[in-house]
């Protein structure tokens, strides 16, 4: 099933967004008028309007009444939710995303340790046990080379509890933005999270530190957890740009 009944306005939105994010159309350029687009995509003008409104909300274009709709520089006007929509073949994007995640994870660990309620700790213990079980099952079944999506889900739920335990809505929303793309992102994520998923010792230390309200130890454990992938993704070479 190639299309799966996706609304026409979404087709237009995805096409235009891809053009902008990939750089095929550059900031300052004007996009065709609504009537032109409706002819090109063979859809109603209302569908084009919905798509353009969504582009505007995403900070990708600026529309002016009567004038041309111009493409903005999404690097300056776009929000974090664009990250998962960026071309996934770019390893620089993966490095950038992982660096931000590592940065937030360390803070989340520390604040969760400092602020977790008794309910949070109970949830954390349960999730940690579920993750440990999934990990053992995974290693026994698939071997340590390829952690499956089931293990990733358990790990995700573990961090879900930690993020909630910080009581910080900004961490929660940023965390959401980092893994909103359900399809390709998780496939990529399981690659970059491999070292974390299989480092039983450090994850256990992280959970123990949070349960023990030891913020410094929790931060250190989170840093250790991400250190390997971080150095692997950020070698000595200068950033691409």
Partner DNA sequence: AGAAATTTGTTCGTATGTATT
Partner DNA sequence: CAATACATACGAACAAATTTC
> Which residues are near DNA by CB under 7 A?
5, 7-9, 33-36, 42-47, 49, 52, 63-69
Main-chain phi, psi angles of 63, to 5 degrees: -105, 145
**Is the four-CA dihedral 201, 235, 175, 169 of positive or negative sign?**
positive
146 binds, among DNA, a second copy, none (CB under 5 to 8 A by kind): none
State how far the Cα of 225 lies from the Cα of 230, in Å rounded to an integer. 9
Q: In this complex, which beta carbon is closest to DNA, that of residue 14 or of residue 34?
A: 34
SS3 of 53-94: the string is HHHHHCCCEECCCCCCEEECCHHHHCCHHHHHHCCCCCHHHH
Told to check if 235 binds a second copy by CB under 8 A, we report no
Told to check if 27 binds a second copy by CB under 8 A, we report no
- Taking the complex as a whole, the smallest distance from the CB of residue 186 to a second copy amounts, in Å, to 16
205 binds, among a second copy, DNA, none (CB under 5 to 8 A by kind): none
Q: In this complex, which beta carbon is closest to DNA, that of residue 7 or of residue 144?
A: 7
Displacement of CA 39 from its chain's centroid (Å): 35
70-109 residues in contact with a second copy (CB under 8 A) are: 75-83, 86, 92-93, 95-97, 99-100, 103-104, 106-107
57 binds, among DNA, a second copy, none (CB under 5 to 8 A by kind): a second copy
Contact 13, 55 (CB under 8 A): yes
64 binds, among a second copy, DNA, none (CB under 5 to 8 A by kind): DNA
60 binds, among DNA, a second copy, none (CB under 5 to 8 A by kind): none
Task: Count other Cβ atoms within 10 Å, centred on residue 83.
Answer: 18
45 binds, among DNA, a second copy, none (CB under 5 to 8 A by kind): DNA
Going across the sheet that includes 69-71, the strands are 30-31, 69-71, 61-62
State how far the Cα of 91 lies from the Cα of 7, in Å rounded to an integer. 31
State how far the Cα of 235 lies from the Cα of 103, in Å rounded to an integer. 17
Q: Which residues bind a second copy (CB under 8 A)?
A: 9, 46, 49-50, 53-54, 57-59, 75-83, 86, 92-93, 95-97, 99-100, 103-104, 106-107, 111, 115, 117, 166-174, 176-177, 180, 238-241
């Amino acid at each position: 099933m190639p299309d799966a009944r996706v609304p026409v306005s979404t087709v237009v939105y995805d096409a235009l967004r891809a053009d902008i994010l990939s750089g095929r159309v550059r900031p300052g350029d004007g996009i065709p008028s609504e009537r032109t687009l409706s002819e090109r995509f063979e859809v109603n003008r209302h569908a084009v309007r919905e798509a353009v409104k969504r582009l505007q909300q995403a900070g990708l274009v600026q529309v002016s009444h009567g004038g041309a709709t111009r493409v903005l520089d999404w690097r300056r006007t776009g929000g974090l939710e664009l990250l998962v929509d960026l071309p996934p073949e770019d390893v620089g994007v993966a490095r950038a995303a992982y660096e931000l995640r590592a940065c937030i994870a360390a803070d989340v660990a520390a604040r969760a340790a400092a602020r977790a309620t008794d309910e949070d700790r109970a949830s954390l213990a349960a999730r940690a046990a579920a993750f440990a079980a999934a990990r053992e099952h995974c290693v026994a079944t698939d071997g340590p080379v390829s952690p499956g999506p089931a293990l990733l889900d358990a790990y995700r739920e573990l961090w879900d509890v930690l993020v909630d335990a910080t009581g910080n809505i900004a961490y929660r929303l940023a965390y959401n933005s980092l893994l909103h793309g359900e399809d390709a992102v998780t496939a990529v994520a399981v690659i970059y999270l491999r070292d974390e998923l299989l480092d039983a010792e450090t994850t256990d230390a992280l959970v123990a530190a949070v349960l023990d309200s030891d913020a410094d130890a929790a931060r250190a454990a989170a840093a250790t957890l991400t250190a390997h992938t971080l150095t692997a993704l950020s070698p000595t070479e200068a950033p691409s740009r």
